[in-house]
Amino acid sequence: EDKVVQSPLSLVVHEGDTVTLNCSYEVTNFRSLLWYKQEKKAPTFLFMLTSSGIEKKSGRLSSILDKKELFSILNITATQTGDSAVYLCAVGLQGAQKLVFGQGTRLTINP
């Protein structure tokens, strides 16, 4: 069975800290790995990583994919209270049109 596991499940830090969120996966026919931010309802797309793009960066957020060890990390530097959200990791599969999601990491940034 395809599985995506995120850790930690919950994280509380102070504004300005740097955080690292983890995502490991065990799936058949990996095609892509995606990160989403979910603040209230709609998950918002952050990054997609594939074999041809294993590192992405946007402002204070960055992500890498390790296809050999089957994991990805999402880094957020100089955190702000607006970064408080649930971060979801999802894997896209070859030959299937679904995304398989992890359970999410709830990140809380205290001022």
Binding site for other proteins (CB under 8 A): 4, 6, 31-32, 34, 36, 40-45, 48, 88, 90, 92, 96-104
Least distance to other proteins, CB of residue 15, Å: 25
| Residue 11: CB atoms within 10 Å | 16
Q: How far is CA 76 from the centre of its chain?
A: 11
Least distance to other proteins, CB of residue 32, Å: 5
Could you give the count of Cα atoms lying within 13 Å of 4 in the half-sphere of its Cβ? 22
Least distance to other proteins, CB of residue 25, Å: 12
> 65 or 88: whose CB is closer to other proteins?
88
> 3 or 57: whose CB is closer to other proteins?
3
| Residues forming a β-bridge with 107 | 11, 85
> 12 or 96: whose CB is closer to other proteins?
96
| Residues forming a β-bridge with 7 | 22
Least distance to other proteins, CB of residue 95, Å: 10
User: Rounded to the nearest 5°, which phi and psi values hold at 4?
Assistant: -130, 125
| Residues forming a β-bridge with 67 | none
